[in-house]
Amino acid sequence: MKRICKEMLMLSSLLVGALLVNAGARAADIIVKPGQAIQDAVTRAKAGDTILVEPGIYKETVYIDKDDITLRGVIRASQWPTLEGEKIRNDAVLYSGSGITVENLKIVNYKGNGIMGQAGNNFVIRNNWIIDAGIYGIFPEFGKNGLIEHNVLSGIEDAAIYVGMCDNVDVLHNEVFDSVAGIEIENSRHQIVDGNYVHDNTGGILAFITPGLPIKTAYDIIIRNNFVVNNNHVNFAIPGSIVSFVSKGTGITIMAADDVVVENNIITDNEFIGIGIAGLEFISAVRSDPDSEPNADRVQILNNLMWNNGTNALPQVMEPLKAAMPGIKGVDIANLGQGKGGCILEKDRYVSVGLDNYSKCELTSTADTLTYTLAEPVPVRQIAAGEKGKAAYFGICAGCHAYSVKMIGPPTVVVKALYQGRPEALAEYIANPVKKRPDYPEMPPQNYISAEVRLEVAKYMLSVEK
């Protein structure tokens, strides 16, 4: 497989991380030892401080609502600082500040999220070990300018790495396995997914649009140099959620996302499909947002190494292939959508179906594009007066509550029907939720959000129209 200079790419990642952390502004190191609370250190920390967590067990949720904070684990003799959820805590690390770095932590046995960003810009999430952390392993939402690298994640019931409604994020050199989805790029733009080992999930790498979210587009996504292998795990997602529709045995899926480049990946032993391309009509249950263009346009498939994929593909895919090529056992690439402007560099290298309208690509490599992260930190998100509810909805709520589509929690339209005219009751439920319906998981309490913002987000949810 053609190689981009890995040393240069890794150096670029480290330099970007240094810029994002803004190390020159660091004021102090705050040391946390076993028996102490990490959250107490966050409370004491000031912009530029680094919180150093010694090896040990920490049973808590850490919420960082300040800017320019580094949360760094100290690893000694293979002993990690471990955040232990005991299957009773919802989230390990939540951050809403900008310039946040989270690194060198082991996170196990949470119910909700391992590391979740809530509208924070200029983030770095690296060198973490996340096991059985609930719905999402690493989940930056509504952020800009981020780096996710050298993490190992497994046992996640939705997406191990889930980049939602973000811009300018690099996802580099992670290992994700034994999860429903390995890496998801959802309603996000200017993304690079490079050098990851994605194996033994239900679906490997997904670039797609979920209708009903505040951000309506997904485009300019490079998926390259990844090992996408044996993603044949049984789907154990929440029934009815978006990823519950991902077929067991899916390597790379592109659904309604535009300008996606798939380059120099090794894609093998994915029994449903190697690369699948579709529009929103492929999942009829989510065709409900007129503001989301439903087709995957201008997909570019460059040199990839593919074999032994699609041995259990859809009959509508396999039957025409078997008629044309007797004895064929599988399919590498299937386009089931109506997207336009697609191209493939060397069509004859693959067993494919649905690529009749694909031209030969003029682009042969994305090697000149080393990163989509920005050299200078973007400004901290400014929230205008009266916009706190909207910002909280975008940055916290929308990841589970799309407007009219079931994701993790009930759609916003259902919430509106239940609480119309009663924002105070919804605000109270946000702080102290209880499980009401068997078809949805229990909502994590959002009592770390101030009472003022909880009421504002409740009012916004009850007034939003799409």
Give the Cα separation of 363 and 303 in Å (integer).
11
- Mean pLDDT score, 306-317: 86
Q: Does residue 205 belong to any structural domain of this protein?
A: yes
Q: What is the pLDDT of residue 288?
A: 60
Query: Is the pLDDT assigned to residue 179 strictly greater than 80?
Result: yes
Check whether residue 258 and residue 140 sit in a common domain. yes
Q: Does residue 93 belong to any structural domain of this protein?
A: no
Give the Cα separation of 354 and 221 in Å (integer).
22
* pLDDT, mean over the chain: 88
- Tell me: the pLDDT tens digits for 90-134? 999 999 999 999 999 999 999 999 999 999 999 999 999 999 998
Give the Cα separation of 391 and 381 in Å (integer).
9
- Tell me: the pLDDT tens digits for 259-281? 999 999 999 999 999 999 999 87
Q: Which carries the bigger pLDDT value, residue 439 or residue 183?
A: 183
Q: Does residue 79 belong to any structural domain of this protein?
A: no
Check whether residue 352 and residue 435 sit in a common domain. no
Q: Rg for the chain (alpha carbons), in Å?
A: 22
Check whether residue 348 and residue 411 sit in a common domain. no
Q: Does residue 83 belong to any structural domain of this protein?
A: no
Check whether residue 225 and residue 340 sit in a common domain. yes
Q: Does residue 229 belong to any structural domain of this protein?
A: yes
Q: What is the pLDDT of residue 403?
A: 75
Residues 105 and 53: beta-carbon distance below 8 Å: yes
- CATH number for position 392: 1.10.760.10
Length of the chain: 466
Reduced to 3 states, what is the DSSP secondary structure of residue 41? helix
Choose the weakest-confidence range: 127-131, 162-166, 448-452.
Answer: 448-452
Q: What is the pLDDT of residue 98?
A: 96
Q: Does residue 106 belong to any structural domain of this protein?
A: no
Pull the structure tokens for residue 273.
């499909």
- Give the rounded percent of residues in the chain with a pLDDT score beyond 70: 91
Check whether residue 290 and residue 424 sit in a common domain. no
Check whether residue 353 and residue 445 sit in a common domain. no
Check whether residue 259 and residue 297 sit in a common domain. yes
- Mean pLDDT score, 193-220: 95
Q: Which carries the bigger pLDDT value, residue 176 or residue 448?
A: 176
pLDDT confidence band for 283 (50 / 70 / 90) = low
Domain count, the chain: 2
Q: Does residue 102 belong to any structural domain of this protein?
A: no
pTM: 0.87
Check whether residue 149 and residue 282 sit in a common domain. yes
Choose the weakest-confidence range: 221-225, 389-393, 409-413.
Answer: 389-393
pLDDT confidence band for 60 (50 / 70 / 90) = very high
Q: Which domain holds residue 448?
A: 388-463
Q: What is the pLDDT of residue 5?
A: 42
Check whether residue 351 and residue 418 sit in a common domain. no
Of 312, 235, 303, 234, which is closest to residue 269 (Cα–Cα)? 312
- Give the rounded percent of residues in the chain with a pLDDT score beyond 90: 64
Check whether residue 147 and residue 238 sit in a common domain. yes
Give the Cα separation of 417 and 351 in Å (integer).
49
Give the Cα separation of 188 and 159 in Å (integer).
15
Check whether residue 279 and residue 324 sit in a common domain. yes
- Mean pLDDT score, 411-415: 82
Give the Cα separation of 188 and 142 in Å (integer).
9
DSSP 6: H
Q: What is the pLDDT of residue 282?
A: 66
pLDDT confidence band for 9 (50 / 70 / 90) = very low
Q: Which carries the bigger pLDDT value, residue 314 or residue 375?
A: 375
Q: What is the pLDDT of residue 322?
A: 62
Check whether residue 396 and residue 252 sit in a common domain. no
pLDDT confidence band for 323 (50 / 70 / 90) = low
Q: Does residue 319 belong to any structural domain of this protein?
A: yes
Give the Cα separation of 424 and 419 in Å (integer).
9
Pick the last residue of a domain from 306, 340, 360.
Answer: 360
